[in-house]
Amino acid sequence: MYILGISCYYHDASAALLKDGIIVAAAAEERFTRKKHDVSFPINAINYCLKNQNISINDIDYVSFYEKPFLKLERVLSQHLEMFPLSFKTFITSIPSWINEKLRLIKTVRKRLEYKKDILFIEHHMAHAAGSFLISPFKKAAIVTIDGVGEWTTTAYGIGNENKIHLTKEIKFPSSLGLMYSTITAYLGFKVNNSEYKVMGLSPYGLMDKEKNQYYNKLRKVIDVKDDGSYRLDMSYFVYHFADRMPSKKLCRLLGGPVRKPELELTQRHKDIAAALQMVYEEVLFKILNHVYKETKCENIVLAGGCGLNSVANGKILKNTPFKHFWAQPDPGDGGTSIGAACYVYNTILGNKRSFVLEGAFLGPRFSTESIKRFLYKNNIQHSEFKDEKEMIEKTAKLIYNNKMIGWFQGRMEWGPRALGSRSILANPCNPKAKELLNSKVKHREKFRPFAPVLCEDDALKYFDCDKPIPEPTGFMLMIYPIKEEWHNKIPSVTHIDGSGRLQTIRKKQNSLYYDLIKEFGKLSGIPILINTSFNIRGEPIVCTPFDAYKCMMGTGIDYLIIDKFLIKRGENQKDMWNSEKYAKD
């Protein structure tokens, strides 16, 4: 049985394919179109999923969509009517997309895919919950979902047991912890639904002290939080429910100034506001989780929704709640709901027992050695070929040890927003200049942004003050932990200003090539840790194809590209990759 899950028309469109309950392929549309956070119907991702199994659309038994459009339209119409005439402008601009796309999903699927069987619709937060719990290692777990908004729900909790999920309590729009975080993201001059993680990364530069940070008490004025974690926003400070912007004039007055323009310097005030926001978010989150534990008496917690990407808070969950085990999928946000929509149909609606646990995130396209070789030869790209895997690992480790920046393109592309060792840029964490070089010459991004350390799971406790046993989501780069103080000066380029690091752990069975490379680097440096950052530049999705990888290399300061078993050295290829029509894309 094949089930196709689809997510689109808001942000991070994606598709996922289940075969007899096992996820065999999944990818975000942005990786194919090269439009970051692409919202469009994920035709390319769907075609990839079908190609992966060498099947046609006629082999699909069910198509499942990640929300209920008519229920969502009910909420949209309700909020516009309630706020009319203030909402007139946004109402007029938003209606065409509903008429042309969102309410025509069935027609679109029938026409573009030529699909004639059943199309099922799953409520948004149920798709979030299913997309994490049903592929988790837990037979039973408490579930919490937090995001901006689905149809009406913004926060929910409940319990999953075997193949059943019951969400028992919810908070509805317009009160939304996710939209509060996004509003402050916009106030600080960053892009909503794209840069909330930048605010999280900025927060340690501010005062992380509730008594000393004046903006903490100011932000607490806009949200009423009860002991059980239920909350309500004071909507006089927000305009997202009727305007085409997020921060209100009243919120700007509260925070002491206008919205920051992106080109202006980040001041200490901005950093303190980011810190205050993170503290408020964590306070509400931990109250919710502690209440959910009391209600469920379950030691396992599954977190889903876009807020599940807040790795700073995730790393504190087990220390600040009674839960013993934590899990989230590699893409807990809207992109991950295509998996949830498919799994909910197979396991819950159809009643099939669970037989799959997601242990790795490598669900995207793979390019064969022969196809990569054709690409290199067609485009006259000078390269050398490693004689075997051992030589590749030894050579790559030595290059990194000598402070070269490596584009690493191997195997199947990762699922989710993090590069996890298939489409990564690798560098030496012991080099104090590596962070600056990566930010300025490769990533072209803000100087305050940290880089993540990757190490083998069996070495993690030596370098990090992390939970025991080490939670599996560290394999998806979803948890930040303190780096032990004795290592701060030895791995400066992955040690954030507060002494933490966004930990990624690797197990041999997950990715043996990546595991062996880290160990080999450890033999040379004495520290088996690498810098791992996503293989892209700011504003672009992570690379997908060999063409994407080579183009990214030629547009940045990456020294070497190691793609499958081939080595490409910068300087030996002077072609203008920006004129992409000249190149065969394989």
In whole angstroms, what is the distance from residue 557 CA to residue 128 CA? 38
pLDDT band at 77 (very low <50, low <70, confident <90, very high): confident
In whole angstroms, what is the distance from residue 510 CA to residue 49 CA? 21
Per-residue pLDDT tens for 420-442? Answer: 999 999 999 999 999 888 988 88
Average pLDDT over residues 122-143: 98
pLDDT band at 255 (very low <50, low <70, confident <90, very high): very high
> Residue 287: is its pLDDT beyond 80?
yes
> Residue 151: is its pLDDT beyond 50?
yes
Burial classification of residue 190, based on how many CB atoms lie within 10 Å of its CB (0-12 exposed, 13-18 middle, 19 or more buried): buried
* Secondary structure element (H or E) that encloses residue 61, with its range: none
- Phi-psi map region of 258: left, alpha, beta (phi>0 left; psi -120 to 50 alpha): beta
What are residue 452's DSSP bridge partners? 532
Least confident of 99-103, 198-202, 214-218, 364-368: 99-103
Considering the domain 2-135+331-349 in this protein, what is its CATH number? Answer: 3.30.420.40
Give the residue from 424, 449, 398 showing the smallest Cα distance to 553. Answer: 424
Average pLDDT over residues 224-250: 92
Give the residue from 432, 510, 442, 428 showing the smallest Cα distance to 476. Answer: 510
DSSP, collapsed to helix, strand or coil, labels residue 479 as: strand
Q: What confidence score (pLDDT) does residue 498 get?
A: 95
Superfamily of domain 172-327: ATPase, nucleotide binding domain (3.30.420.40)
Percentage of the chain exceeding pLDDT 70: 97
pLDDT band at 82 (very low <50, low <70, confident <90, very high): confident
What are residue 165's DSSP bridge partners? 160
Per-residue pLDDT tens for 53-76? Answer: 999 999 999 999 999 999 998 998
Length of the chain equals 586
Average pLDDT over residues 174-185: 96
- Alpha carbons within 13 A on the beta-carbon side of 462: 10
- Name the DSSP class of 248: -
Report the DSSP pairing between strands 423-427 and 406-409. antiparallel
Question: What would the two tokens of residue 430 be?
Answer: 């012991």
pTM (two decimals): 0.95
Contact 221, 187 (CB under 8 A): no
- The stretches of 84-221 forming alpha helices (DSSP H) are 88-100, 105-113, 124-133, 177-187, 196-202, 214-220
pLDDT band at 500 (very low <50, low <70, confident <90, very high): very high
pLDDT band at 466 (very low <50, low <70, confident <90, very high): very high
> Residue 578: is its pLDDT beyond 50?
no
DSSP, collapsed to helix, strand or coil, labels residue 65 as: strand
Within 10 angstroms of residue 227's Cβ, the number of other Cβ atoms is: 8
> Residue 574: is its pLDDT beyond 60?
no
Q: Calculate the average pLDDT of the chain.
A: 94
Q: What confidence score (pLDDT) does residue 572 get?
A: 54
Average pLDDT over residues 287-295: 98
Domains 2-135+331-349 and 172-327 share a fold: yes
Return the domain boundaries, the chain.
2-135+331-349, 172-327, 369-582
Question: What would the two tokens of residue 12 be?
Answer: 């991070």
Average pLDDT over residues 275-300: 98
pLDDT band at 517 (very low <50, low <70, confident <90, very high): very high
Average pLDDT over residues 7-21: 96
**Please, what sign has the CA dihedral across residues 511, 517, 523, 526?**
negative
Q: What confidence score (pLDDT) does residue 526 get?
A: 98
Contact 164, 239 (CB under 8 A): no
In whole angstroms, what is the distance from residue 272 CA to residue 278 CA? 10
pLDDT band at 579 (very low <50, low <70, confident <90, very high): very low
Per-residue pLDDT tens for 369-379? Answer: 999 999 999 99
Considering the domain delimited by 369-582, tell me its CATH architecture: Alpha-Beta Complex (3.90)
In whole angstroms, what is the distance from residue 550 CA to residue 568 CA? 9
Place of tokens 């440096």: 525
In whole angstroms, what is the distance from residue 338 CA to residue 106 CA? 16
Percentage of the chain exceeding pLDDT 90: 86
Q: What confidence score (pLDDT) does residue 584 get?
A: 57
Give, in degrees to the nearest 5, the angle at Cα 583 between 578 and 586. Answer: 125
> Exposed e or buried b for every residue in 60-79, given b needs 16+ CB within 10 A?
bebbbbbbbbeebeebbeeb
> Residue 513: is its pLDDT beyond 60?
yes
Give the residue from 444, 441, 390, 414 showing the smallest Cα distance to 504. Answer: 414
- Phi-psi map region of 297: left, alpha, beta (phi>0 left; psi -120 to 50 alpha): left
Per-residue pLDDT tens for 373-418? Answer: 999 999 999 999 999 999 999 999 999 999 999 999 999 999 999 9
CA-based R_g, the chain, Å: 23
Residue 166 φ/ψ, nearest 5 degrees? -125, 110
Give the residue from 39, 51, 38 showing the smallest Cα distance to 4. Answer: 51
Q: What confidence score (pLDDT) does residue 443 get?
A: 79
